[in-house]
Chain A
Amino acid sequence: MITRNYIWSACWVFATMVLLIVQPVSAVSQEIDLLLKGGHVIDPKNKIDSKMDVAIVAGKIFRIGVDIPANLAKKTIDANGLFVVPGIIDMHVHVFSGTDPGSTSVGNSARSQQADAFSFRSGVTTVVDAGSSGWRNFPLFKAQTIDKSQTRVLAFLNVVGNGMIGRFQEQDVNDMNPVMNAHMINRLYPNILVGVKSAHYWGDFVSVDKAVQSGQLANVPVIVDFGEHEPANSIEALFMKHLRPGDIFTHTFSEISSGRESIVDEASRKVKPFVFAAQNRGIIFDVGHGGGAFAFSQAMPALKQGFMPNTISTDLHDLSMNGAMKDMANVMSKFIAMGMSVQDVILRSTWNPANVIKRPDLGHLSVGAEADIAIFSLKKGNFGFIDVRRSRITGNERLEAELTIRAGRIVWDLNGISGAAWTPSLINN
């Protein structure tokens, strides 16, 4: 027994010595977990727009450079011919999915969608829920959705305490409590709540003003869905008097017959002068495509006249997902079809939204940043893109998410470029 123990101890000592010798060698030869080789990197923050390799270690960006040797990597992915960009940020979604029978809108209902079902397959690694919850039901939203999602889910907290459980409930001025709202953002969930939402209010500017009040208290931006008023309220007053620089106007290219003022004059098809002034003032214009909020009759003249949205987003929900919107990659492709460069599209869906929500840790590929990365192919062919009025433009390019990485982990791989080739010898391995 003693002899056996002695032999075992000797074995352990020997094994440990072997490990001590071998380990540093293997660590040197395989220090990179994942190496993305030969892709065209677009990283607007770091002004990178060229062929580069991206190395990931322990879930973080480890190195970006030309010709990082593949023998340093445990796994190498050939990204030749593909765009390698920071993980896409979709700044306007509704993902508070649930089954509250009392909800008629996107708050805790099946009208909201599951983040993971739409994000990764579109290159998205971060979504920002736009006010589906308010301070009363945000904890439920967090437990139900945010904590369970692989996608990073951030949120604008609705100025209405009950969030979006119905248009009617959204009119309750007594449920708009800027102090409670700001407390929840600042004191309880500063890492998740990135701003305040005002939406669907039928009255004057009360909802916006209370949201701004909360935004001031919490030092966060406000995002406004403005336009269910009869008659329509002035967006010039909204941009120039009520919102602060850094606040966000969503559904930028909406054109509906009444209740909402358009940014492009419907007769002359000219961008209204105060819209440029507002953008210069620092008002953020977000696409927020949605089911009813994107018309080519607004977007096409605006782009031609030099007005570009600051951020591109989907407004994902049940009524947008199967219509003209479809998914983030489709909305981004639509802007390419309208003439925006790939670089401009990526900027507006990565670094710009990250800045708008004051999360400069996101939306770029700086060394040390969490490795959220999207790899896109730019498919060539004959494609069509429609708006919410079912009018169609054509384009010959479409972005497709080839591979998505969230915190260093591959969460989407369309064509299995990270997989190993199958061979018949693998039978019952």
Chain B
Amino acid sequence: MMYSKMNKMWSPFVRRALATLVLVLLIGYTTGYAQTIDILIKNGHVIDAKNGLNSRMDVAISGGKIFKVAANIPSEGAKKVIDATGLYVSPGLINMHTHVFAGGNTGFVEGTSSQLPDAFGPRSGITTVVDAGTSGWKNFPQFKSQVIDKSSTRVLAFLNIFESGLVSGNATEPDLKSFDVQATVDAVKANPGIIVGTRIGHYSGKDWAPFDRAIEAAQVANVPFFVECHLPQYTLEDQLKRMRPGDIITHAYENVRERMSVIDEQGKIRPFVKEAQARGILFDVGHGGAGFWFNQAIPAFKQGLLPNSFGTDEHRTSMNSGMKTILNVMSKYLAMGMSIQEIIARGTWKPALSIKRPDLGNLSEGSEADVTLLKVLSGNFGFVDSGNNRIEGDKKLEAEMTIRGGRIIWDLNGLGANKFNQ
């Protein structure tokens, strides 16, 4: 009755206008304005180097993407709310130096020396790993189908200049004929964004051809060149001189016989290392089993030779030694005096830029929701280097939660779980 009366009262124009208004509101509600938030991370301290964020903020995830980062996003309507009070909220960590071509063979290629990315990634806040040349152009397709395509961790790769990667059991690549610049370039181009650079390491010859051809391939493919150690016949100075700005040298703070150290006998950064740094050569930690020494890293840190990334050089012997996890490596830098902001930048945005993947390592709205919730534990902690020398610290990083593409893939204490009802 009332309705018919009102109907009579309202002119067709008003009715049409009202209907339009309702329609507009409805469309707005279902699409943009109040998009469903799948996960809302509340009250964490957001550190996002790309976007200059370093304060308490909420992060909303929708459809696997970062939907919004702002203070006080309302919880209403969010499917899941995570209380991140007291935690740091960081873009998912990037591990720049890993060996993940795991399998049953001896050695690294489809081998037991390599590690499965999902076994160590999620639990240490890692959402992206970069394999350091375990495969070359010939066996990259196999690596891709066996590991890259099957892992929930995002797996990228530096392609070894040697066609079959780290194929031999003793980690020394074979002869001068086993590399092909064009095939390497073709492989990079066929896998854009997945193969993010070329790589050399483990070559015991004197000939500069493999080194120079790896740079040439990187040049043509417009990707960085990644240099490991185990190149005993090349001097460090010559290696750095040949490298281009943006190229990366790993095992930056190693102190082993086969490669000159970055710190000289007086405890100073060698002048040619400083020159390389000034020219834009990037230094990756590449901790590994033998690649990280406090007698290099501490003077280097004090004198300004900072790592651009915290590659762990993940493999079967590094994982249970001084390295342990990327968070342990990052915590070493906390103990050495680096700020948490600097550490997170070097675990996320800086490596993303260096591999030309600016879509990664940040929390920009619209980017894939790779997010890590980190806790800074307080206590008495110890950290050892490759020589089992120990420093102490009162803080240590722990991965509370890891989110990859909007999906929770690690939840240490069940922050995202429901209370058990008896």
Q: Could you list which residues of chain A lie within 8 angstroms of chain B, going by C-beta atoms? A: 97-99, 108, 110, 113-114, 116-118, 120-121, 140, 144-145, 148, 296-297, 300, 318, 321-322, 324, 326, 382-387, 390-393, 411-422, 424, 426-429
Instruction: Report Cα–Cα, A428/B147, bound state, in Å.
Output: 39
Contact digits for B115-144, partner A, Cβ 8 Å, 1 yes 0 no? 110111011000000000000000000000
Smallest CB-CB A-B distances: 9 pairs: A384-B413, A416-B384, A415-B382, A419-B390, A144-B104, A422-B389, A386-B414, A384-B414, A392-B414
Max chain B Cβ within 10 angstroms of own Cβ: one of A116, A322, A384, A420: A322
- Give the chain A neighbours of B389 by CB distance below 8 A: 419-422, 426
- Give the chain A neighbours of B390 by CB distance below 8 A: 416, 419-422
Cβ contact within 8 Å between B419 and A391: yes
**B146 interfacial contact with A, CB 8 Å:** yes
**B150 interfacial contact with A, CB 8 Å:** yes
Cβ contact within 8 Å between B102 and A322: no
**B4 interfacial contact with A, CB 8 Å:** no
State which of B119, B388, B411 has its C-beta within 8 Å of the C-beta of A386.
B411
State which of A108, A297, A384, A427 has its C-beta within 8 Å of the C-beta of B295.
A427
B112, chain A: closest CB distance, angstroms: 5
Cβ contact within 8 Å between B102 and A120: no
Instruction: Report Cα–Cα, A220/B186, bound state, in Å.
Output: 56
Instruction: Report Cα–Cα, A99/B100, bound state, in Å.
Output: 13
When A116-B316, A413-B384, A416-B382 are in contact, do A97 and B420 touch as well, CB less than 8 Å?
Answer: no
Contact digits for B374-389, partner A, Cβ 8 Å, 1 yes 0 no? 0000001111110111
Closest chain B residue to A425, Cβ basis: B295
Cβ contact within 8 Å between A390 and B416: yes
The interface stretch among B56-64, B177-185, B223-231, B260-268 is B260-268
Instruction: Report Cα–Cα, A319/B323, bound state, in Å.
Output: 25
Contact digits for B308-324, partner A, Cβ 8 Å, 1 yes 0 no? 00000000100110101
Max chain A Cβ within 10 angstroms of own Cβ: one of B110, B112, B115, B412: B112
Instruction: Report Cα–Cα, A362/B232, bound state, in Å.
Output: 45
When A391-B418, A429-B295 are in contact, do A114 and B119 touch as well, CB less than 8 Å?
Answer: yes
- Give the chain A neighbours of B322 by CB distance below 8 A: 416
Cβ contact within 8 Å between B102 and A110: yes
Known: A296-B420, A424-B295. 11 other contacts (CB 8 A): A97-B102, A97-B112, A144-B104, A322-B123, A390-B416, A391-B417, A413-B384, A416-B388, A418-B388, A421-B390, A427-B295
Q: Can you sample 13 A-B contacts with CB below 8 Å?
A: A108-B104, A113-B116, A114-B316, A121-B320, A384-B415, A386-B414, A386-B417, A390-B418, A392-B418, A416-B390, A420-B388, A427-B267, A428-B264
Closest chain A residue to B396, Cβ basis: A415
Closest chain A residue to B145, Cβ basis: A101
**B294 interfacial contact with A, CB 8 Å:** yes
Closest chain B residue to A119, Cβ basis: B320
Instruction: Report Cα–Cα, A427/B420, bound state, in Å.
Output: 54
Cβ contact within 8 Å between A99 and B103: yes
When A110-B102, A322-B118 are in contact, do A424 and B298 touch as well, CB less than 8 Å?
Answer: yes
Main secondary structure of the interface of A (DSSP, over half): mixed
How many residues of B are counted as interface, with CB atoms below 8 angstroms from the partner's CB atoms? 56
**B198 interfacial contact with A, CB 8 Å:** no
**B219 interfacial contact with A, CB 8 Å:** no
- Give the chain B neighbours of A384 by CB distance below 8 A: 412-415, 417
**B160 interfacial contact with A, CB 8 Å:** no
Instruction: Report Cα–Cα, A113/B151, bound state, in Å.
Output: 13
Cβ contact within 8 Å between A428 and B388: no
B351, chain A: closest CB distance, angstroms: 23
Cβ contact within 8 Å between B146 and A99: yes
Instruction: Report Cα–Cα, A312/B337, bound state, in Å.
Output: 41
- Give the chain B neighbours of A326 by CB distance below 8 A: 123, 412
B153, chain A: closest CB distance, angstroms: 10
- Give the chain B neighbours of A318 by CB distance below 8 A: 116, 118
Cβ contact within 8 Å between A114 and B115: yes
- Give the chain A neighbours of B415 by CB distance below 8 A: 384
- Give the chain B neighbours of A424 by CB distance below 8 A: 267, 295, 298
Interface residues of B in 271-295 (CB under 8 A from A): 294-295
Cβ contact within 8 Å between B320 and A322: no
B12, chain A: closest CB distance, angstroms: 54
- Give the chain B neighbours of A296 by CB distance below 8 A: 420
**B421 interfacial contact with A, CB 8 Å:** yes
**B51 interfacial contact with A, CB 8 Å:** no
When A98-B103, A392-B419, A416-B388 are in contact, do A427 and B299 touch as well, CB less than 8 Å?
Answer: yes
**B354 interfacial contact with A, CB 8 Å:** no
Cβ contact within 8 Å between B147 and A110: yes
Cβ contact within 8 Å between B104 and A322: no
Cβ contact within 8 Å between A322 and B409: yes
Contact digits for B79-92, partner A, Cβ 8 Å, 1 yes 0 no? 00000000000000
- Give the chain A neighbours of B320 by CB distance below 8 A: 116, 120-121, 411-412
- Give the chain B neighbours of A412 by CB distance below 8 A: 320
Instruction: Report Cα–Cα, A420/B387, bound state, in Å.
Output: 9
State which of B146, B319, B324, B412 has its C-beta within 8 Å of the C-beta of A110.
B146
- Give the chain A neighbours of B387 by CB distance below 8 A: 426
Instruction: Report Cα–Cα, A414/B390, bound state, in Å.
Output: 11
A12, chain B: closest CB distance, angstroms: 31
Closest chain B residue to A377, Cβ basis: B379
State which of A114, A382, A418 has its C-beta within 8 Å of the C-beta of B116.
A114
Instruction: Report Cα–Cα, A415/B328, bound state, in Å.
Output: 10
**B31 interfacial contact with A, CB 8 Å:** no
**B43 interfacial contact with A, CB 8 Å:** no
**B67 interfacial contact with A, CB 8 Å:** no
Instruction: Report Cα–Cα, A144/B104, bound state, in Å.
Output: 5
Cβ contact within 8 Å between B118 and A422: no
**B372 interfacial contact with A, CB 8 Å:** no
Instruction: Report Cα–Cα, A297/B419, bound state, in Å.
Output: 12
- Give the chain B neighbours of A385 by CB distance below 8 A: 413-414
B379, chain A: closest CB distance, angstroms: 8
- Give the chain A neighbours of B255 by CB distance below 8 A: 428
- Give the chain B neighbours of A97 by CB distance below 8 A: 102-104, 112, 116
Cβ contact within 8 Å between A392 and B420: yes
Contact digits for B240-262, partner A, Cβ 8 Å, 1 yes 0 no? 00000000000000010000010
Cβ contact within 8 Å between A121 and B324: yes
**B162 interfacial contact with A, CB 8 Å:** no
Instruction: Report Cα–Cα, A383/B400, bound state, in Å.
Output: 11
**B170 interfacial contact with A, CB 8 Å:** no
